[in-house]
Chains A and B, each alone.
Chain A
Amino acid sequence: MDITEYIKLVFTDYTLRTITLGTAILGAVTGMLGSFAVLRKQSLLGDAISHAALPGIAIAFLITGAKDSNVLLLGALVSGLIGTFWIKGIISKTHLKSDTALGLILSLFFGFGMLLLTFIQKQPNANQAGLDKYLFGQAATLVESDVWLMAIVTGACLFVLLLFWKEFKILLFDADYTKTLGFNTKFIDVLITTFIVLAIVLGLQTVGVVLMSAMLLAPAAAARQWTNSLSVMVFLAAIFGAFSGVFGTAISASQNNLSTGPVIVLVAGIFVLVSFIFSPNRGLLFKQLRFIKNRRDLELQKTLSFMFHIAETHENISHPHTIKILNNFQGFTKGTLQKLVEKNYVKLDGTMWSLTDEGFKTASNLYNQQTSNNE
């Protein structure tokens, strides 16, 4: 299937359109909220929330006996919220560190959820099959109403984000200070956390309990690499998340229906990888290149200043010297000499070299420059 054919299919085929839209919206909302989780150093929170949602799904099924996805999500939401605020309670009331609290709630809730799932499977209810799809997600089960629900939550999230932007930003940066300004930090915190839980719960059907946290973290981590502005970061994270959804769905649909959730997560992972290597300021590649260039420049400057000291001993600064003396200098190679010639700092004449006027001026400025740079 070629690309144009696929794009046409996205717009005409009901299932494909629903899944593409659903995963794109999901990616956008989790990307936005993920930025906040990442900046608060609560990267693991998403993982804990999604795992904590599992028993809620099972209990909702046990109570209603039906597999209506909205009811199950409501159960997930309730138990996700309970888990989350339990974690916050443990952190503030005990001396346990947050990673311990997260790990504890994650495994306890997940364990309980798994227990309930196996219990449900033993029941003589014909409806029971398929609950385990919430473990790894199954995008194919998305229907139009699910996408509408996602769109509404995303819209509400966007509205709240814009409304309380200033409050969110200052809480993320400096919570104690925010308190002294008279803001109710608990309210802001509950607001952010509730939306994070909502977004995660919405994604369970598509991506599943186990992989959901990646949807929260990957787009945000990738976006952080490209910008030093919070608003741009949130925006980019939403874009990266949405594209992960669209590309992930496309790959899974065109390659023998590979499981959509994992493919989306992998695509998001590629965004992270590319961002970590190629982003201009924080990326590893350009950092390394800058580092190498810096070293080269310094080498060159040191050689030039060595030559400067030799040339200084003569009244005529362009007095020629043999290249041999330079061998005493450690950083000297034929390459550096060649570079200096290219820069027109040095003139070569057979086995002799001499400083040009420009080279002399540059060299005598070097020392002053170095000291002023250090300030």
Chain B
Amino acid sequence: MAQSSETNKNETSVGAIAVKVDDLTVAYNYKPVLWDIDLEIPEGVLMAIVGPNGAGKSTLIKSILGILKPIAGSVEIFGKPYEKQRQIVAYVPQKGSVDWDFPTTALDVVTMGTYGSLGWIKRPGQKEKKAALEALEKVGMLPFKNRQISQLSGGQQQRIFLARALVQNASIYFMDEPFQGVDATTEIAIINILKELRKAGKTVIVVHHDLQTVPEYFDWVTFLNVKKIATGPVKDIFNDDNLTKTYGINYKVSIQE
């Protein structure tokens, strides 16, 4: 049981390593949710993390970001421990993880993205407000800036979350199911923003559910099911073999090239 997963040597080295995960093991109870994950994510990729329910996709992101405490393992961001690199890492949690009836406005939520660089006690000023407004504009939510957040649709709430991360002006973005429960229009808007981020040289890591869209949206993919099954360029490793290994049943997706 205690042997490490076979490492996949498909990883072609593209530039610097943005995220390096070593021997990461996480357990909630007795059963490990993540077992001995080694992962190297090159800078500048748009990567999907795929796997069945309970595969540990959200857990992986949360333990990389220090929200969950792993049993073992280490995380490096551009060669330094994560704790020292927080400023260049942004996080988009699952939309369902917060109470949207919270008494606040869209602009206010997006402004929260500036709190990290502000540090303790200091209040957001004009500069922070301007950055928040720009981010709202980018996600097409500027007309809704003064809306109470409960009066936004699911897709709009997702865009607000995205805008909050954009404000952080990070180098690496972790997103937990940003396409969950959004309509087609919003999905296109979001993927366009993600592609823009990649174009600007940012690294974007996305927990993703819809296997059909993986080849179209992403250039890098990690298959996860408690262990890491495979990681690498979509065109090399997004195939029926890895899908079957990950999902356990015979999986066939037609991959449009």
Contact = CB atoms under 8 A, between A and B. Distances in A.
Contact of A229 (B66, B97, B103, B109): B103
Interface size class of A (residues with CB under 8 A): 20 to 34
Contacts of A169: 104, 112
Interface stretch (A69-77, A170-178, A270-278): A170-178
B166 to A, nearest CB: 14
A172 B102 contact: yes
Given A170-B112, A174-B97, A179 B104 contact: no
Contact of A164 (B97, B102, B116, B121): B121
Interface in A153-170: 163-167, 169-170
B115 A170 contact: yes
B177 to A, nearest CB: 14
A280 B124 CA distance: 31
A156 B22 CA distance: 46
Contacts of A227: 103
A374 B75 CA distance: 46
A228 B112 contact: no
Residue with the highest number of chain B CB atoms closer than 10 Å, among A165, A173, A232: A173
Interface in B221-257: none
A179 B98 contact: no
Contact of A174 (B66, B103, B112): B112
Contacts of B90: 180
B145 interface: no
Contacts of A183: 115-116, 120
A41 B112 CA distance: 21
A124 interface: no
B123 A166 contact: yes
A91 B67 CA distance: 16
Contact of B121 (A163, A177, A182, A230): A163
A181 B116 contact: yes
Nearest to A232: B103
B148 interface: yes
A220 B125 CA distance: 28
Interface string A21-59: 000000000000000000101000000000000000000
Interface of B: 29, 62, 65-67, 86-87, 89-91, 93, 97-99, 102-105, 109, 112, 115-116, 118, 120-124, 148, 164
19 contacts: A164-B120, A166-B122, A166-B124, A167-B121, A173-B98, A173-B112, A174-B93, A174-B97, A177-B93, A177-B164, A180-B65, A180-B67, A180-B91, A181-B115, A181-B116, A227-B103, A228-B104, A230-B102, A232-B103
4 A-B pairs with least C-beta separation: A181-B116, A228-B148, A180-B91, A182-B86
Interface of A: 39, 41, 95, 163-167, 169-170, 172-174, 176-183, 224, 227-230, 232-233
Given A166-B121, A179-B67, A180-B90, 20 more contacts: A39-B99, A95-B29, A164-B121, A166-B118, A166-B124, A167-B115, A167-B121, A170-B115, A173-B98, A173-B102, A173-B104, A173-B109, A176-B67, A177-B91, A178-B115, A180-B89, A182-B116, A183-B116, A228-B103, A229-B103
